[in-house]
Each structure stands twice: as structure tokens, then as C-alpha cells.
Amino acid sequence: MILEGVLARVPGSPCLQIKPLGEPAIGLLWPQGYTASGNPLHVYSPRGADLAAEGDLVTLGGGRISEPSAYCRTQSYFEVSEITKGAGKYAP
């Protein structure tokens, strides 16, 4: 499944969401080794590559899980398998 939207930080939580146009925000579940830090928040690959930042428009590959995420305060979440920002792509 492909999901496009803007990366957003959940206020008061370390969780990142994606906000697809016209849909509620969806919590993101990243593969092991991914990290996020900084202000604005940046997402890094296990090898340290800067993949995207809070506020960036991204395309994610993966699978949507239709269960609430209390951690991300969303009604569903998305297991990320790849991320594309601009012309670059990183798949774990």
C-alpha cells in the first residue's frame, strides 16, 4: 500500500504521524533501527541517512493497521517499509 501526506509530530509524544490530504492523521510504526531527533524532528535510517523532516511531504510504502494507537493518538497506524521524499528513496 502507498500512503502520501505530511509528516507531523504528535504534541506531547515522540510519535510521528502522517496527515494524508482529506483524511485523519495516521500513526507511524517504523522498522527497527530508525531514529528521530532534532527540531524540526528528522527521521534517520539505521545507517544515519536523513530521510525526511517534520512538515515534509512524503510517500510511504507499507501496510495500514485499522486499530487505534493510544501512543500516537490516532484511529489507525501504518507500518512503514519504505519512504520517499522528493527524488530520493530508502527501503530497509
- CATH number for the domain spanning 57: value is 2.40.50
Q: Taking the model in full, what pTM does it have?
A: 0.84
Instruction: Give me the domain span that covers residue 39.
Output: 2-90
**pLDDT tens digits for the chain (92 residues)?**
888 999 998 888 778 999 988 889 999 999 999 998 888 889 999 999 999 999 999 999 999 999 998 888 899 999 999 988 854 454 54
- Gap between the Cα atoms of 17 and 73, Å rounded: 9
- Residue 30 is classified by DSSP as P
How many domains, the chain?
1
Residue with cell 494507537: 69
